[in-house]
Amino acid sequence: MTTAQMEKAKASRGEIVGVIRRVAAENGRAYAWQYGLAALFLLVIAGTTAFTAWIMRDVIDEIFYRQRADLIALISLAILASFALRGIATYGQAVILAKIGNNLVARYQRRIFDHLMKLGMDFFSAQRSSQLVAQINQNVGGVRDLLNITVTSIARDAVSLVALVGVMVYQDPVLSMIAFLIGPPLVLLVGHLMRRLRRLNREAILVNSRLFGAVQEAVQGVAIVKAFTMEDQLSKRMDALVSDVEARSNKIARVSERLSPISETLAGVVVATVIAYAGYRSTMGAQPPGAVFSFITALLLAYDPARRLARTQVGLERALVNARMIYEILDTEPRQEDTPDAGALKVGKGDIRFEAVSFSYGPDMPVLHEVSFTAAGGKTTAIVGASGAGKSTLIALLQRFYDVDGGRIEIDGQDIAHVTKRSLRQSIAYVSQHPYLFEGTIADNIRYGRAGATDDEIRLAAEQAFADEFIRQQPDGYDTPVGESGASLSGGQRQRISIARALVRKAPILLLDEATSALDNESEARVQAALSTVMQGRTTIVIAHRLSTVVSADHIVVLDQGRLVEQGTHADLMADPNSVYARFHNLHDEAGLGLVDDTGETKKEEPQRASAAAGSLR
């Protein structure tokens, strides 16, 4: 082995020890007595195994060679007791380690989820959610395996091997030296295999996560798959991923199992040599065969723990890769920690002020450029602009999904960078343009707006969002399961439930990001009427692809390519026929996009022209 290889092997062992120490430090105290009891059972297994080899000398010499009939019952009962004790100990340690392992997995699943909830939107923007979930599911067992492999290899296999080697040396030191010849070649072989397995295991985990992620995406997007007849394309993609997974799994199997034929051959050489030498010495020297039989029994029994110990590092390498990838997630620091001086947000009037706010999603992705405006407390402020102007980004920054690159955002004079995120978000009710429902009932999804909401408050919010009627028509009413991501409901129904969820929150600030985009004209008109009532007395910021809400807003902010170009009331902005807002308004007016005229009546919509113009505000 070269110096570089020795250094790499040393670093590998150090890394394994380091991860084991970390896992033990985090969990050792919680499971100390369980692991202690499991270790005791494992020691019993090791002791009874060594006893089986040791007593073979008396079985051969006293019963068969010297024909001591008086010892038959005693020796037989001792062997029976040894096997029964080993069976009980084997059962006990297996159950205890399984319970510990299951609890460890559950503990890390909770810990990972809690940590993920603390991470900012920047982390999830850089991750494919389906692959992240698949990767966590694959790797979470690595922590359990690290501890279980370590305990069993030390308390059972290592102790068993030491005890059996002690029996061998006691019975015949010379034959023991011959048996030890198997050690050095096995150590070199294991070291070589470990270096290859580490890289292969990590690659296999990543490929498997891509496979599971692709399956999840295909299932979630099955409507698009069928609508665009994508079945053949996705099947080819899946076939390539499955073939890659299969090839890597086969390669891992070939590399990890190379230990078996070589170790078996080496063991065969040693056992054959021992038997030949012992047989020759016994026949030529006329010695009682008991010691030789005891030695051979100990040798054969020692082979199994020696083989398991040789393969221990194989299992440790696999568990190490899994555990390390889990810790990569747990060690990811949230970028949006609350500042040391952060206090709870106190909302009074509810004035929201954007002061020279700049933001970019990356070095070459600027979105906002020194945007400044004020959303007056208790009033409605509408944000208008073309697609990519930065409207939704303003909403995200106000909720501190991201932190501003420059400038500041204040609520009643309080810089939101210096208040706790929890208190900030508890003061905001948010309706996204993409309604998302969680697994559970309709009532559960509305109650997510405020955990303490009563059934009457949930029904009232549903009525205000014009969702009560269709909810009561469901098979189980408010207790009807919504299915995965609300799959059992239409887009408009999902949006109305998400609006009800925002209404039940009773927050002083209301954010509507194209909240009625998924509704038909009649439903939109009814929800807009409900929102008009709910918005009274609340600071409301509205982004809408239709201008019916914008027209009646107290203040209108117009964005163009991340810059604020105009602001004012509808009348003020329409006074200049060349303004950006007037151009948007006229386009929508010509298309008939449900604008409200001076009499308050809704104009007739022309669907074909409306759809052509609708994109101008998105």
Task: Tell me the per-residue pLDDT of 516-533, one tens digit each, with 9 for 90 and over.
Answer: 766 677 777 777 776 776
Query: Strand pairing partners for 566?
Result: 558
Give the pLDDT of residue 11: 55
- Given pLDDT bands bounded at 50, 70 and 90, which one contains residue 223? low
- Given pLDDT bands bounded at 50, 70 and 90, which one contains residue 601? very low
- Given pLDDT bands bounded at 50, 70 and 90, which one contains residue 607? very low
| Whether residue 617 has pLDDT greater than 70 | no
Query: Strand pairing partners for 556?
Result: 382, 568
What is the arithmetic mean of pLDDT over 180-187?
67
Written as six digits, the tokens of 443 are 């009532």
Give the up-direction half-sphere exposure of residue 88: CA atoms within 13 A in the CB hemisphere.
9
Q: In whole angstroms, what is the distance from residue 448 CA to residue 441 CA?
A: 11
Residues 526, 529, 532: CA angle, nearest 5 degrees: 150
CATH no. for 15-330: 1.20.1560.10
Give the pLDDT of residue 15: 66
Give the pLDDT of residue 410: 94
What is the arithmetic mean of pLDDT over 307-329?
76
What is the arithmetic mean of pLDDT over 449-471?
89
Give the pLDDT of residue 12: 56
Between residues 379 and 279, the one the model is more confident about: 379
Total length of the chain: 618
Query: In the chain, pLDDT over 70 holds for what percent of residues?
Result: 83
First to last CA, the chain: 65
Task: Tell me the per-residue pLDDT of 567-595, one tens digit each, with 9 for 90 and over.
Answer: 998 888 888 888 888 887 777 655 544 43
Pairing between β-strand 563-568 and β-strand 555-560 as defined by DSSP bridges: antiparallel
Give the pLDDT of residue 2: 55
Cβ–Cβ < 8 Å for 193, 260: no
Phi, psi of 509 (to 5 degrees): -120, 130
| CA nearest to 191, candidates 458, 347, 6 | 6
Query: In the chain, pLDDT over 90 holds for what percent of residues?
Result: 14
Q: In whole angstroms, what is the distance from residue 148 CA to residue 97 CA?
A: 7
Q: In whole angstroms, what is the distance from residue 99 CA to residue 34 CA?
A: 9
Give the pLDDT of residue 303: 73
| Whether residue 1 has pLDDT greater than 60 | no
Q: In whole angstroms, what is the distance from residue 299 CA to residue 384 CA?
A: 83
Task: Tell me the per-residue pLDDT of 26-58, one tens digit each, with 9 for 90 and over.
Answer: 887 888 888 888 888 888 888 888 888 888 878
Least confident of 394-408, 429-443, 602-616: 602-616
| Whether residue 142 has pLDDT greater than 60 | yes
Burial class (CB in 10 A: 0-12, 13-18, 19+), 70: exposed
| Whether residue 162 has pLDDT greater than 50 | yes
Give the pLDDT of residue 557: 92
Give the pLDDT of residue 408: 93
DSSP symbol at 155: I
Pairing between β-strand 406-411 and β-strand 509-513 as defined by DSSP bridges: unpaired
- Given pLDDT bands bounded at 50, 70 and 90, which one contains residue 195? low
Q: CA dist 249 to 192, 204, 316, Å?
A: 19, 7, 17
Q: In whole angstroms, what is the distance from residue 19 CA to residue 319 CA?
A: 10
Between residues 317 and 14, the one the model is more confident about: 317
- Given pLDDT bands bounded at 50, 70 and 90, which one contains residue 285? low
What is the arithmetic mean of pLDDT over 608-615?
34
Q: In whole angstroms, what is the distance from residue 257 CA to residue 213 CA?
A: 29
Task: Using CA atoms of 398, 401, 404, 410 in order, give the dihedral in degrees to the nearest 10.
Answer: 30
Q: CA dist 111 to 140, 331, 473, Å?
A: 11, 12, 40
Q: In whole angstroms, what is the distance from residue 108 CA to residue 30 CA?
A: 13
What is the arithmetic mean of pLDDT over 227-239?
81
| Whether residue 90 has pLDDT greater than 60 | yes
Residues 333, 431, 529: CA angle, nearest 5 degrees: 165
Give the pLDDT of residue 365: 79
